[in-house]
Chain A
Amino acid sequence: MNRNSARQTMRHLQLLILGVVASCTTADLFAQDAIQTGSVNQVAVSTELNVVKLYGAGGFAGLDAYQSGFFVSPDGYILTAWSTVLDVEHIVAVTSDGGRLKAELRGIDPNLEIAILATGQPTNNYFDLSQSTDPKVGTRVLALSNLFGIATGNEMASVQRGIVMAQTELNARRGAFESIYQGTVYVIDAMTNNPGAAGGALVDLRGRLVGMLGKELRDTDANIWLNYAIPISSIKESADNIIAGESIARADTGRPKSDRPAQLSQLGVVLVPNVLSKTPPYVDTVQPGSIADSAGLEDDDLILFVNSTRIASQNVLLNELEFLDRAESIALLVQRGNEIKEIVLSP
């Protein structure tokens, strides 16, 4: 590495930044400054007007008593995340101009974990859900929320910039609890999900609403905190229904276990002894003449996938079989030495 040139570059960069900053403060360049920063600034300011600071229950046992929300209609309905903060009779919504509104819970969607609050106050500052858009991975975004409850009174919500880092299915939990919402989310590369940020707005650089910031969640796969927003396209229909006065029941999203689950013995497979918490599902023996035998499964094969489910251990395999019907065929992806083979077990 050429440190000298790096240092030099850094110095240049610093000088240039200083130059830019200095020029911003010079009166005769003020107009140019406005041109340069106007767009992002306008987007931020105009969209921030739609964001409210919400105060409700909490404040003990590590739960926060505040979160964020935003107006989604001219008659003062607010979209936010459904959380314990809303477990009070009167929720207080503080608008960006310091207005203090009493808000009532209009309704919730327990599947999306969203809530609509009614303030009864007409407003010009709202996001039109029908104007929302779906960003691509890599799109630059701004997150608007009252994270850490740092804004009070007529202070604007905080703006963070980032990009849509990935789009993925949510498979996360808070503490030991699985997230109820299991749909698509946008993962953001900025720290957007902190206490108080839930219910905030995610907009693109044209000010178009793209998502609602979700509650704090831990990514179970990567084992890190997840910064994400739920796409408005997933929320819109439900939000409209709640505003229209419909109540939305908890859908049973649980995967039903099979009445006649598949079993290793019925398939003719004996695995190596399951002694570790994550024993690899190696086949110890295949019973001659069994379903597994005729499908071509062999001793020492390592089972990697069952249908499309990744099998990280024997325990995962045993659990997965409970959801499969023994009358239906099962596609296995196995490793034999260095080879990857697909094997279909047909009863």
Chain B
Amino acid sequence: MSVLQDKNPYASPIRRKQPLKIRSQLFSLFPLAVAIAWAAICTLSLPAQQALDTPQQVETEEQPSAGEQLTTEELLANTTEELLANEERAFQQAVQRAAPSVVQIETFGSPRQSGSELVSDGPTTGTIISEDGWIISSLFSFRDQPASVLVSLPDGQRAAAQVVSRDYSRELVWLKVDAKGLPTAQIADPKSIAVGHWAIALGKTYDRSTVSQSVGIVSALGRAYGKAVQSDAKISPINYGGPLIDLSGRVIGILSPISPGSFLEGDSTELYDSGIGFAIPLGDVLSRKSTAQAGEDIHSGLLGVVADDQNELAGPVKISGASPGSPAARAGVRAGDIVVSAFGQPIKLLANLRHALGPVDAGSNFEFSVDRQGETIQFECLLAKEIPVYQRRYLGLRIRTVASKGGSSSLEITAIEKASPASNSPLRPGMRIVKIDHIDNPSEDQLLSAIAVAELDTPLNITVRTDEGDERIIPLLAGTWPQSLPEELPIRTGPDDDNLEAEVTEISLGDFPNKTFVITPPTHSDPAADTAPASQGLLVLFPEPGELEQEKTLNHWNAFCRDHGWIVVVINSGNPRAWAREEVELGSRVLLKMENTYDIDSKRIVIGGLGVGGRISLMVAAAHAERVSGVLALGTDLGRFALRQRNAPKRSLDFLLVGNQERLAPQVTALQKSGYAAIAIDAPMLEPAKWETVPAESIRLWLEGLGRL
């Protein structure tokens, strides 16, 4: 369901629409240029057209000049009017050839929630792919099971259809009606589908007898992780399920609401009217015929490797570990492995791996190889539909990096949390971790990775060196991250001098007008020379829209900053009455700025919000799950907010929801079901704009808890 439009004060449909549409105006200029240029090419230069290495060129067949070599002057003599008329005729012929296989589909009694942007009562479109009644439509109208599905067949009769299979990976649905001799879609030769070629999107939503048509070009191939063709023809609920055809009336693909990776549900609407739409190549649809026709649903295949760096452009793809219980874990992928190829194609960036995995369905085979300390190891495994919901692991340690003799550094245990897995082990503060499993002298991040993917029934082997210089191996089972506040935590000590005050500075965020303050703890020199200065936690706050009582806000966080060594950023809304969706972008600006300016502890980056600001904070955290560790929502009505992605190793988010516990309970349950750690704190008196009512102690405990390993 849509989470952004519904009952959402800062994102009314009208507000949201304009920037998108302005953008689409810009988009529209390019196709115009291309259309004019292409039109000129089509008529002007037959040789040039052949240079496009496209064997099947109906454009030229439709032109009266085809087949004879005309001089440039003769060709130029064709007026633009003739050219356009010919082109329009070519479009019409293509449409007429494909139109009979396009059908209108009506659904009845879908038990969907009303009031959401994505609910569609109206008819939808389907494409007939076999004379005996197999029809492809999109998931748009079939996410839930309708009581009845009627297809208007070419003879005008309505026939009842069965939903036989749903392809969740490509957002398509396979329908079957009892019929014989139906006109079927003709498939375009995949080799003839090329960027820049005309593409016409057909739908039958408006009218049972006439197809709607929108003309564009093929904009890109292999989009949405290798699953879709992109076109600038208008693709929307008006024609989802219909075909995208070429100029010969052959089907390039089936129009689909698929959208490339998004974290929050309902994001595909963002691409409406933006000059970007997608079609699933018909060949890719038909190749799943036997699965679909057997009534099995189709899902994206999951491998379950977690890359060290979640940035798509990061490479080489070093694995922090295989998600416990995943195909990758069963195949034996280990932390430290580097994925080097998939299906024989080199994998250099995380994006390469995602593209290789994108088209592979659950239950299908995936071949890849990794480099393990110079040795190449081949793997083959069946991708899974589901991977066990991941819950974050922990041992209950606090560590710091200390310099060793000889210039290297090592990890020292500074504290052990009460009632944690480590508290019952021989691990003691002061010990140095010299090896975890097979990784010698692990960095903090390597240690974190090893813990993150630890199986709950297989102990980690931690080698420590004691003060006396002895080394011993301590096997320790990781536990799942606590779902309640700790009673007490090893507290980071602030400066002894109470007179030291945190420093408040106003910062600029580029073209955003938002008034933004950074509160930094007082600097103090650490007498222990062998200790690197402790990195600091970062709390980014989005308050209620409008100017808060600035002084109070700053005072409240000032003390927290000073005592606990956190940096607090307060971002005020640009519009005093509402937060705008665009302001989510502020989050990444601030994160980048803070990470560049200060030594931030990556384990303790929290996005928080008061009241409505809490929603912004959730969106920011969702967009940056690989960098953010926690979400703090104070008095926020999260409504039907839902996270599309489940918890994953090294992308874990901790949630602290403060407010009416009863109302927060369903949210907490939903988050925990997706594997996230979520805690609700009852603060019925919480008035979002009044900091005094915020239960400071609970928040402090929770924030400090994020620093555990």
Main secondary structure of the interface of A (DSSP, over half): mixed
Report Cα–Cα, A6/B281, bound state, in Å: 15
A335 to B76, Cβ gap below 8 A?
no
Report Cα–Cα, A301/B692, bound state, in Å: 61
Would you give the 0/1 interface string for B71-110, flagging 1 where the beta carbon is closer than 8 Å to chain A?
Answer: 0000010011100100010011001000000000010111
Which residues of chain A from 294 to 347 have a CB within 8 Å of any chain B CB? 302, 304, 310-313, 333, 335, 338-340
Would you give the 0/1 interface string for A218-249, flagging 1 where the beta carbon is closer than 8 Å to chain B?
Answer: 11111111000000000000000000000000
Can you name 20 A-B residue pairings with CB atoms under 8 Å? A1-B190, A1-B221, A6-B194, A9-B52, A9-B194, A13-B52, A17-B33, A137-B210, A147-B25, A160-B25, A160-B28, A165-B234, A166-B207, A166-B210, A191-B25, A223-B120, A276-B111, A282-B147, A312-B121, A313-B109
Residues of chain A lying within 8 A (CB to CB) of residue B699 = none
* With contact pairs A166-B212, A167-B207, A338-B178 given, residues A205 and B108 touching in the complex (Cβ less than 8 Å): no
Q: How far is the CB of B490 from chain A (nearest CB, A)?
A: 53
Residues of chain A lying within 8 A (CB to CB) of residue B639 = none
Given contact pairs A21-B37, A279-B109, A333-B158, enumerate 12 new A-B contacts (beta carbons under 8 Å).
A6-B195, A9-B54, A12-B53, A148-B25, A166-B213, A167-B207, A189-B214, A191-B273, A218-B13, A221-B121, A223-B117, A223-B120
Q: How far is the CB of A42 from chain B (nearest CB, A)?
A: 9
Looking at A33-41, A68-76, A256-264, A284-292, the stretch in contact with chain B turns out to be A33-41
Q: Is A26 an interface residue (CB 8 A)?
A: no
Q: Is A280 an interface residue (CB 8 A)?
A: yes
Q: Which residue of B lies closest to A17 (CB)?
A: B37
Residues of chain A lying within 8 A (CB to CB) of residue B76 = 32, 35-36
Q: Is A265 an interface residue (CB 8 A)?
A: no
Q: Is A10 an interface residue (CB 8 A)?
A: yes
Interface centre among B109, B150, B237, by most chain A C-beta atoms within 10 angstroms, is B109
Q: Kindly identify which residue among A36, A167, A276 contacts B80, using a CB–CB cutoff of 8 Å.
A: A36
Q: Kindly identify which residue among A189, A278, A310 contacts B106, using a CB–CB cutoff of 8 Å.
A: A310
Report Cα–Cα, A278/B116, bound state, in Å: 14
B108 to A37, Cβ gap below 8 A?
no
Q: Is B465 an interface residue (CB 8 A)?
A: no
B273 to A12, Cβ gap below 8 A?
no
Residues of chain A lying within 8 A (CB to CB) of residue B509 = none
Q: Which residue of A lies closest to B281 (CB)?
A: A1
A10 to B160, Cβ gap below 8 A?
no
Would you give the 0/1 interface string for A1-24, flagging 1 where the beta carbon is closer than 8 Å to chain B?
Answer: 111011011101100110011000
Q: Kindly identify which residue among B41, B114, B210 contacts A278, using a CB–CB cutoff of 8 Å.
A: B114
Report Cα–Cα, A338/B195, bound state, in Å: 43
Q: Is B642 an interface residue (CB 8 A)?
A: no
Residues of chain A lying within 8 A (CB to CB) of residue B81 = 39, 205-206
B237 to A3, Cβ gap below 8 A?
no
B213 to A222, Cβ gap below 8 A?
no
A10 to B118, Cβ gap below 8 A?
no
Q: Is B520 an interface residue (CB 8 A)?
A: no
Looking at B15-23, B301-309, B496-504, the stretch in contact with chain A turns out to be B15-23
Q: Is A187 an interface residue (CB 8 A)?
A: yes
Residues of chain A lying within 8 A (CB to CB) of residue B1 = none
A2 to B191, Cβ gap below 8 A?
yes
A168 to B214, Cβ gap below 8 A?
no
Residues of chain B lying within 8 A (CB to CB) of residue A223 = 117-120, 122, 237
Q: Kindly identify which residue among A2, A16, A278 contacts B109, using a CB–CB cutoff of 8 Å.
A: A278
Report Cα–Cα, A166/B205, bound state, in Å: 9
Residues of chain B lying within 8 A (CB to CB) of residue A36 = 40, 76, 80
Q: Is A183 an interface residue (CB 8 A)?
A: no
Q: Which residue of A lies closest to B240 (CB)?
A: A222
A138 to B84, Cβ gap below 8 A?
no
Q: Is A154 an interface residue (CB 8 A)?
A: no
Would you give the 0/1 interface string for A266-283, flagging 1 where the beta carbon is closer than 8 Å to chain B?
Answer: 000000000011111110
B150 to A190, Cβ gap below 8 A?
no
Q: How far is the CB of B157 from chain A (nearest CB, A)?
A: 8
Report Cα–Cα, A191/B178, bound state, in Å: 39
Q: How far is the CB of A57 from chain B (nearest CB, A)?
A: 18
- A residues with CB within 8 A of B: 1-3, 5-6, 8-10, 12-13, 16-17, 20-21, 32, 35-40, 62, 137-140, 147-148, 160-161, 163, 165-168, 175, 187, 189-191, 194-195, 205-206, 218-225, 276-282, 302, 304, 310-313, 333, 335, 338-340
B206 to A278, Cβ gap below 8 A?
no
Q: Kindly identify which residue among B36, B123, B221, B222 contacts A37, using a CB–CB cutoff of 8 Å.
A: B36
Residues of chain B lying within 8 A (CB to CB) of residue A139 = 88
Q: Is B349 an interface residue (CB 8 A)?
A: no
Q: Which residue of B lies closest to A338 (CB)?
A: B160
B92 to A8, Cβ gap below 8 A?
no
Main secondary structure of the interface of B (DSSP, over half): mixed
Residues of chain B lying within 8 A (CB to CB) of residue A221 = 120-123, 205
Q: Is B313 an interface residue (CB 8 A)?
A: no
Q: Which residue of A lies closest to B274 (CB)?
A: A191
* With contact pairs A21-B37, A138-B92, A166-B212 given, residues A277 and B114 touching in the complex (Cβ less than 8 Å): yes
Which residues of chain B from 118 to 172 have a CB within 8 Å of any chain A CB? 118-123, 147-148, 150, 157-160, 162
B79 to A35, Cβ gap below 8 A?
yes
Report Cα–Cα, A341/B207, bound state, in Å: 22
Report Cα–Cα, A346/B354, bound state, in Å: 62
Q: Is B670 an interface residue (CB 8 A)?
A: no
Residues of chain B lying within 8 A (CB to CB) of residue A13 = 34, 38, 52, 195-196
* With contact pairs A137-B212, A340-B159 given, residues A5 and B21 touching in the complex (Cβ less than 8 Å): no
Q: How far is the CB of B113 from chain A (nearest CB, A)?
A: 8
Q: Which residue of A lies closest to B226 (CB)?
A: A1
Q: Is B46 an interface residue (CB 8 A)?
A: no
Residues of chain B lying within 8 A (CB to CB) of residue A21 = 37
B80 to A38, Cβ gap below 8 A?
yes
Residues of chain A lying within 8 A (CB to CB) of residue B226 = 1
Residues of chain B lying within 8 A (CB to CB) of residue A137 = 210-213
Report Cα–Cα, A164/B422, bound state, in Å: 70
Residues of chain B lying within 8 A (CB to CB) of residue A333 = 158
A163 to B214, Cβ gap below 8 A?
yes
Q: How far is the CB of A12 from chain B (nearest CB, A)?
A: 5
Report Cα–Cα, A40/B158, bound state, in Å: 43
A6 to B273, Cβ gap below 8 A?
no
Report Cα–Cα, A17/B91, bound state, in Å: 22
Q: How far is the CB of B448 from chain A (nearest CB, A)?
A: 37
Q: Kindly identify which residue among B80, B109, B113 contacts A35, using a CB–CB cutoff of 8 Å.
A: B80
B212 to A280, Cβ gap below 8 A?
no
A222 to B28, Cβ gap below 8 A?
no
A168 to B207, Cβ gap below 8 A?
yes
B150 to A304, Cβ gap below 8 A?
yes
A39 to B79, Cβ gap below 8 A?
yes
A340 to B150, Cβ gap below 8 A?
yes
Q: Kindly identify which residue among B114, B194, B206 contacts A5, using a CB–CB cutoff of 8 Å.
A: B194
* With contact pairs A161-B35, A279-B109 given, residues A335 and B160 touching in the complex (Cβ less than 8 Å): yes
Q: Which residue of A lies closest to B196 (CB)?
A: A13
Q: Is B233 an interface residue (CB 8 A)?
A: yes
Q: How far is the CB of A202 from chain B (nearest CB, A)?
A: 15
* With contact pairs A1-B281, A40-B84, A165-B213 given, residues A280 and B109 touching in the complex (Cβ less than 8 Å): yes
Residues of chain B lying within 8 A (CB to CB) of residue A313 = 109
Q: How far is the CB of A308 from chain B (nearest CB, A)?
A: 11
Q: How far is the CB of A301 from chain B (nearest CB, A)?
A: 11
Q: Which residue of B lies closest to A314 (CB)?
A: B109
A191 to B195, Cβ gap below 8 A?
no
Would you give the 0/1 interface string for B196-226, flagging 1 where the beta carbon is closer than 8 Å to chain A?
Answer: 1000000101110011111100000110001
Q: Kindly identify which residue among B18, B28, B117, B158 contacts A340, using a CB–CB cutoff of 8 Å.
A: B158
Q: Is B51 an interface residue (CB 8 A)?
A: yes
Q: How far is the CB of A333 from chain B (nearest CB, A)?
A: 7
Q: Which residue of A lies closest to B79 (CB)?
A: A39
Report Cα–Cα, A13/B38, bound state, in Å: 8
Q: Which residue of B lies closest to A43 (CB)?
A: B81
Which residues of chain B from 24 to 67 have a CB within 8 Å of any chain A CB? 24-25, 28, 32-38, 40-41, 45, 48, 51-54
